[in-house]
Structure 1
Amino acid sequence: MRIPPTTRSDPSLKSTWSHRAWVASGCTTVLIALANSIMGAAESHIWLEPILAGLVGYVLADLGSGVYHWGIDNYGSAETPVIGPQIEAFQGHHKWPWTITRRQFANNLHALARTVTFFVLPIDLACHDSILLGFVGVCSGCIMFSQQFHAWAHGTKSKLPPIVVALQDAGILVSRPQHAAHHRQPYNNNYCIVSGVWNEFLDTQNVFGALEMILFFKLGVRPRSWDEPNSDWTEETETSSQVALP
């Protein structure tokens, strides 16, 4: 039985020095890509292509966050190799969504920062193309910070920094109302958590529903979203979680 973190002082919500080191490494990796892209653009006097590449990276990061979120929301379990802990965390997030607002910054981002370091650092070292580096830098940066954007989408407007609220209202970051729909029945929409720009298209075209049908007929695997919502999907308040614990 999964037990939610119960207080801000819970050790599972706090950042460790290992978490901070990975976030520092991820941020450095992203900044190297962006700096090299800017320097390459300055040397070649070609700015439009790297900027457009960065914009494409931003848009595709949102799509990637949605596909990944859909996958781990609906398939696998804590016992799944490699990503089992992430699956358990995302599936448990529906029951205890408030825990993400209690997590310290590096605690929330370290897993994605580690992935970004491993995949992007070799590109930083081997690539000198300002266009590719612009794409990689923005895309990987948005992916790494997607969990922070996600946490802000669960935040209270009055407690969020004004710049974050402004970016949410402008649609640059996923908004609180849009993500709130993901936590209401039927729990099978609004998966994207960077800007949410893909959510309307993916949901109206039933893209994930089609993928679920393909996986079911090919592999015989049912997604969790096909089952009637039960207590695993129903939000439990922080107070009731604390009362329920022995």
Structure 2
Amino acid sequence: MDNLEVLPASTTSPPLLNDPRVLSSWSHRLWVAIGCTTVLISLAKSMVAAAHSHIWLGPMLAGCVGYILADLFSGIYHWVIDNYGNASTPFFGPQIKGFQGHHKEPWVITKRQFANNIHSSALAITFMVLPVNILYNDPIIHGLVSVWFGCLMFSQQFHAWAHCPKSKLPPLVVALQDAGVLLSRSQHASHHRPPYNNNYCIVSGIWNKFMDDNKVFEALERFFFFQFGVQPRSWNESGF
């Protein structure tokens, strides 16, 4: 859920690797470190509280629910950003512009360095998880929150891996993709055909078949159109 900025045609050659827009800055790295620390504190609180109470099943099940919810919420967010608003939309404008650019040049995401790719997600997740760390010690709450928001924070990296050839990915990532734990390249490929209106979920993709077969997003688009008169971008022939 990061800014996938459109790069000019002149940057489609190897010098793109040195373009500052794909490189990680120290501020990017700092936010990723803070985000990861915040999520790890939540996970640690879940494990410590579970150890003290000798109840592990609840936190483990909560973690599984968090993993499932992360994929669903990644799809909902992706659908909204793809279809509504524009570059001038407050707060979300850069992300909307970025996701539109990603459909035009999907390969650019594979050139982004890790912290550059997920720093915006890490910043948002930090402010979502930090209050939970301060206010709660319940192992089930932290089991849910740590996995849910941890997966959301890394979802943009899972997304990037789904655009990489298997030969360029670590064997563990390939194994997780093949097992359906992480979004696979084959599943995500159909999202990059106009009008870009399916397979929105980018953590594991486990929700994609249900959402697409039952036309959940299409029903929501019709609802918003008839209620507010707003058409999604996917209704245009080109998708944008």
Determine if the TM-score, normalized by the shorter chain, exceeds 0.5: yes
Deviation at 1:185, TM superposition (A): 3.3
**For residue 88 of structure 1, what is the amino acid of its counterpart?**
K
The equivalent residue for 1:80 is 89
Deviation at 1:187, TM superposition (A): 1.5
Determine if the alignment matches structure 1 residue 31 to structure 2 residue 43: no
Aligned partners of 2:7, 2:203: CA distance in 1, in Å?
Answer: 28
**For residue 39 of structure 2, what is the amino acid of its counterpart?**
V
The equivalent residue for 1:180 is 189
When the two chains are superposed, the root-mean-square deviation of aligned CA atoms in Å is 1.0
The equivalent residue for 2:156 is 147
The equivalent residue for 1:68 is 77
Deviation at 1:229, TM superposition (A): 1.2
- Match for 2:21 among 12, 20, 26? 12
Show CA shifts across 1:41-79 (max 9, x none). 000000000000000000000000000000000111110
Aligned partners of 1:91, 1:139: CA distance in 2, in Å?
Answer: 26
**For residue 139 of structure 2, what is the amino acid of its counterpart?**
S
- Partner SS, residue 164 of structure 1: helix
- Partner SS, residue 11 of structure 1: coil
**For residue 32 of structure 1, what is the amino acid of its counterpart?**
I
**For residue 119 of structure 1, what is the amino acid of its counterpart?**
M
The equivalent residue for 1:190 is 199
Q: TM-score, normalised by structure 2?
A: 0.94
Structure 2 unaligned segments of length 5 or more: list them: 1-5
Determine if the alignment matches structure 1 residue 22 to structure 2 residue 31: yes
Deviation at 1:184, TM superposition (A): 1.5
Determine if the alignment matches structure 1 residue 164 to structure 2 residue 178: no
Deviation at 1:136, TM superposition (A): 0.2
Aligned partners of 2:120, 2:194: CA distance in 1, in Å?
Answer: 29
Determine if the alignment matches structure 1 residue 199 to structure 2 residue 208: yes
Aligned partners of 2:197, 2:214: CA distance in 1, in Å?
Answer: 13
**For residue 167 of structure 2, what is the amino acid of its counterpart?**
S
Show CA shifts across 1:122-171 (max 9, x none). 11111010000000000010000000000000001101000000000000
Aligned partners of 2:194, 2:122: CA distance in 1, in Å?
Answer: 31
**For residue 83 of structure 2, what is the amino acid of its counterpart?**
N
Aligned partners of 2:136, 2:7: CA distance in 1, in Å?
Answer: 45
Determine if the alignment matches structure 1 residue 47 to structure 2 residue 33: no
The equivalent residue for 2:3 is none
The equivalent residue for 2:222 is 213
Identity of aligned residues (%): 65
The equivalent residue for 1:98 is 107
**For residue 176 of structure 1, what is the amino acid of its counterpart?**
R
Show CA shifts across 1:174-202 (max 9, x none). 01000001001342100000000000000
**For residue 49 of structure 2, what is the amino acid of its counterpart?**
G
Aligned partners of 2:7, 2:230: CA distance in 1, in Å?
Answer: 27
- Partner SS, residue 12 of structure 1: coil
Structure 1 unaligned segments of length 5 or more: list them: 233-246
**For residue 219 of structure 1, what is the amino acid of its counterpart?**
F
**For residue 60 of structure 2, what is the amino acid of its counterpart?**
I
The equivalent residue for 1:237 is none
Count of aligned positions: 230
